């Protein structure tokens, strides 16, 4: 088993900087997820670690070993790709055994590893089948099994679930999490799906334009995003943002959002008082916007009048699109809500869960 360290790693493709001064230490046995929109550098970061791309600047370590110039086959890593990349003419058994045969691993040892991996993944009865006889979920397990038999120090996974349907993806997420616990090996996983990142990662590295924005546990990223980008990327539906100005009203610190004014909770007023008069961005998550009749007890409510534009019944909740004169925002209401399209109503914002960001830097004001 091994840790992984990116030390001031930069990767350029001509004039394009794909990864910019990346510094991350991934302890042994951690499940780290790289997440971000397309083109943010997450797959390039993985390919640099795998040796499929050359580092322009900086160093990459696996354990204590500098691997910048080590060929991919000698890095003791195994990679699972989005496309699965199975050999169509080979059986499942032969697909899983192929890499071991190239390394001239003894036949008995190959058989042990393949059957053990198949048992872990629940595909023992598929070993004689060809890939075309398998479902998408089964092919994905075979691709993971091919990586497991390598018994590597580090598993690299590049969006391995993106080809699965929604229900199977949820099931596969749970299987990969259990696999990580069982194998006790370092996993590094790339996805653009923040739901995958939140449910699977021990820690999440959020990237944008090749730059690491924030690296922390899923809960910290959700509760204390460092900037507007992280706040908007983590969480579904995305956080609501309002252009606002910090003002003083009746001795209290408040947010003037043009269409409405809301008071900042007293226990946080001193944090924002030095910024009075400043243009800011006020953020609040849809799950902290309630129907006042069904708001959780004990929260510091700010009531905002708005018109109901669209409702989406989800069964356990209703996603309500609300509009004021100059903006639109979302709430996640109790399914018993009386919100109806075209009606005007009050929405209760839980100000204990508010976020304020500097308008110029887009960094959180803490």
In terms of residue numbers, what domain contains 351? 240-358
Shared domain check, 219 and 71: yes
Q: What sign does the CA torsion over 297, 298, 303, 309 have?
A: negative
The per-residue pLDDT for 1 is 64
CA 113, CA 150: separation in Å to the nearest integer?
8
Alpha helices by DSSP H, the chain: 42-50, 92-102, 107-121, 136-148, 166-183, 194-200, 218-223, 228-233, 266-272
CATH of the domain at 160: 3.40.50.300
> What pLDDT sits at residue 26?
97
| CATH code of the domain containing 345 | 2.40.50.140
> Do 218 and 304 belong together in one domain?
no
Do residue 187 and residue 327 come from a single domain? no
86: left (phi over 0), alpha (psi -120 to 50) or beta: beta
**Of 233, 267, 299, which residue sits at a domain end?**
233
Strand, helix or coil for residue 127: coil
Per-10-residue mean pLDDT of the chain, 366 residues long, equals 93 96 96 95 96 96 95 90 86 93 91 90 90 88 88 90 80 86 92 91 96 97 97 95 95 94 93 95 97 93 96 95 95 95 96 96 95
Q: How many domains does the chain have?
A: 2
244 lies in the same domain as 189: no
Q: Distance between CA atoms of 120 and 198, rounded to whole angstroms?
A: 24
198's CB contacts (< 8 A; 6+ apart) are 204, 218, 221, 222, 234
């Amino acid at each position: 088993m091994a840790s992984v360290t990116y030390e001031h790693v930069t990767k350029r493709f001509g004039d394009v900087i794909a990864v910019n001064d990346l510094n991350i230490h991934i302890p042994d046995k951690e499940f780290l997820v790289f997440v971000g929109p397309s083109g943010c550098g997450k797959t390039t970061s993985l390919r640099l670690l795998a040796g499929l791309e050359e580092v322009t600047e900086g160093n990459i370590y696996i354990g204590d070993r500098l691997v910048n110039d080590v060929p991919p086959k000698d890095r003791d890593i195994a990679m699972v790709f989005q496309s699965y990349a199975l050999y169509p003419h080979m059986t499942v058994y032969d697909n899983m055994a192929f890499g071991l045969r190239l390394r001239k691993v003894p036949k008995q040892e190959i058989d042990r590893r393949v059957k053990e991996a198949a048992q872990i993944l629940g595909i023992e009865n598929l070993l004689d089948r060809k890939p075309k006889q398998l479902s998408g979920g089964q092919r994905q397990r075979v691709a993971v099994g091919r990586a497991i038999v390598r018994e590597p120090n580090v598993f690299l996974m590049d969006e391995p679930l993106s080809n699965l349907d929604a229900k199977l993806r949820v099931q596969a997420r749970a299987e990969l999490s259990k696999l990580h616990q069982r194998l006790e090996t370092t996993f590094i996983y790339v996805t653009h799906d923040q739901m995958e990142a939140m449910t699977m990662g021990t820690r999440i590295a959020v990237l944008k334009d090749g730059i690491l924005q924030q690296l922390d546990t899923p809960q910290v990223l959700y509760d204390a995003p460092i900037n507007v980008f992280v706040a908007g990327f983590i969480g579904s539906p995305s956080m609501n943002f309002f252009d606002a100005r910090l003002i003083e009203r009746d001795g209290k610190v408040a947010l003037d959002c043009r269409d409405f004014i809301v008071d900042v909770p007293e226990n946080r007023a001193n944090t924002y008082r030095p910024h009075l008069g400043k243009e800011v961005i006020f953020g609040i998550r849809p799950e902290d916007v309630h129907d006042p009749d069904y708001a959780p007890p004990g929260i510091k409510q700010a009531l905002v009048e708005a018109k109901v534009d669209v409702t989406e019944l989800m069964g356990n909740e209703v996603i309500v699109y609300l509009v004021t004169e100059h903006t639109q925002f979302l709430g996640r209401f109790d399914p018993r809500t009386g919100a109806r399209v075209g009606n005007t109503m009050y929405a209760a914002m839980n100000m204990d869960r508010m976020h304020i960001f500097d308008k110029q830097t887009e960094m959180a004001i803490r």
